[in-house]
């Protein structure tokens, strides 16, 4: 447990500079080892990428036990801190936090999209209680779980555009007060809104790398604390697979497969310990 406590503290500190935390999202042990081998100081998981790899659509359709089993495999495959995307926290946020720690994670991502509704967000008091429950459980277990509290206000385009900023910041302020360590507003890609969020919140902000997000150096200049890739790299891997499959089917050739493949020895070497 002492090693996990140290990893949690390292992850927390990485949100406070001096450099922006660039956090790639893994979906299996191989992608996690590739990210670690590339030198990233911490790794996140992608709920969508894990779900796709196990045959589920994104949106909290994958059972919690299967998601946490994947997180455990990822966390046990690397030495760096791992933070897990656990969607909306499933049926019991406190139990999910405990399960995340048991799986070896030292942080988690919690979204406020209500998957049972028709494009709506979880009411603020209910989401606040989820965060508080996760914080209480983690503290009782002696691990400062780094909670990244996410609002889907922008990503799901919920609410009127003119009031979206105010609604999002109301939520994020509430999540900060409830015990979050970082807040996340995926779907925000323009510099003006990012800068406004940083100025308004005065708290570590996570931005999702997506078109047309600013590049990492520019995000650092805007005082963003963390940038993550979400399912982007997982979907890029799926895209390579799709192109290779279609080329093989339509032309009987292997160019995409050959050009994109990691050498066998390098791939095998990722898991020689």
User: Quick one: pLDDT at residue 1?
Assistant: 64
User: Quick one: pLDDT at residue 116?
Assistant: 85
8 Å CB contact between 90 and 96: yes
Tokens 């994109």 belong to 260
Query: Is there a single domain that holds both residue 152 and residue 257?
Result: no
Which of 191, 195, 198, 172 is CA-nearest to residue 183? Answer: 172
User: Quick one: pLDDT at residue 261?
Assistant: 97
Query: Is there a single domain that holds both residue 145 and residue 254?
Result: no
User: Quick one: pLDDT at residue 88?
Assistant: 97
Query: Is there a single domain that holds both residue 154 and residue 183?
Result: yes
Ranges of the chain whose pLDDT falls below 50: none
User: Quick one: pLDDT at residue 272?
Assistant: 87
Query: Is there a single domain that holds both residue 193 and residue 217?
Result: yes
Question: E strands within the chain?
Answer: 21-23, 25-26, 43-45, 82-85, 107-111, 113-114, 120-121, 146-150, 182-184, 205-208, 226-228
Predicted structure pTM score: 0.96
Query: Is there a single domain that holds both residue 143 and residue 269?
Result: no
Q: What is the CATH number of the domain that holds 105?
A: 3.20.20.60
Query: Is there a single domain that holds both residue 236 and residue 256?
Result: yes
Query: Is there a single domain that holds both residue 241 and residue 200?
Result: no
Domain count, the chain: 2
Quote the distance between the C-alpha of residue 254 and its chain's center: 33
Query: Is there a single domain that holds both residue 98 and residue 198?
Result: yes
* Domain that residue 123 falls in: 2-230
Query: Is there a single domain that holds both residue 13 and residue 120?
Result: yes
Query: Is there a single domain that holds both residue 108 and residue 226?
Result: yes
Query: Is there a single domain that holds both residue 145 and residue 92?
Result: yes
Which of 123, 132, 128, 83 is CA-nearest to residue 103? Answer: 83
Query: Is there a single domain that holds both residue 77 and residue 142?
Result: yes
């Amino acid at each position: 447990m002492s090693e996990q406590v140290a990893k949690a503290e390292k992850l927390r500190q990485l949100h406070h500079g001096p450099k922006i935390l660039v956090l790639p999202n893994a979906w299996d042990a191989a992608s996690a080892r590739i990210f670690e081998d590339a030198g990233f100081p911490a790794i996140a998981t992608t709920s969508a990428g894990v779900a796709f790899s196990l045959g589920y659509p994104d949106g909290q359709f994958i059972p919690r036990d299967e998601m946490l089993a994947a997180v455990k495999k990822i966390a046990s495959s690397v030495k760096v801190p791992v933070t897990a995307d656990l969607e909306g926290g499933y049926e019991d946020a406190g139990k999910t936090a405990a399960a995340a720690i048991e799986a070896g994670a030292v942080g988690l991502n919690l979204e406020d999209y209500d998957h049972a509704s028709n494009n709506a967000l979880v009411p603020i008091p209910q989401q606040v209680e989820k965060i508080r429950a996760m914080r209480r459980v983690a503290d009782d277990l002696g691990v400062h779980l780094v909670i990244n509290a996410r609002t889907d206000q922008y990503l799901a385009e919920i609410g009127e555009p003119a009031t979206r900023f105010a609604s999002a910041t109301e939520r994020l302020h509430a999540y900060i007060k409830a015990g979050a360590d970082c807040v996340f507003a995926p779907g925000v890609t323009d510099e003006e809104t990012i800068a406004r969020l940083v100025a308004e919140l005065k708290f570590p902000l996570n931005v999702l790398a997506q078109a047309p997000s600013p590049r990492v150096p520019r995000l650092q200049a805007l005082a963003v604390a963390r940038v993550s890739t979400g399912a982007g790299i997982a979907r890029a891997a799926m895209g390579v697979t799709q192109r290779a499959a279609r080329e093989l089917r339509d032309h009987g050739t292997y160019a995409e497969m050959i050009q994109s493949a990691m050498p066998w020895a390098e791939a095998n070497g990722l898991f020689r310990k």
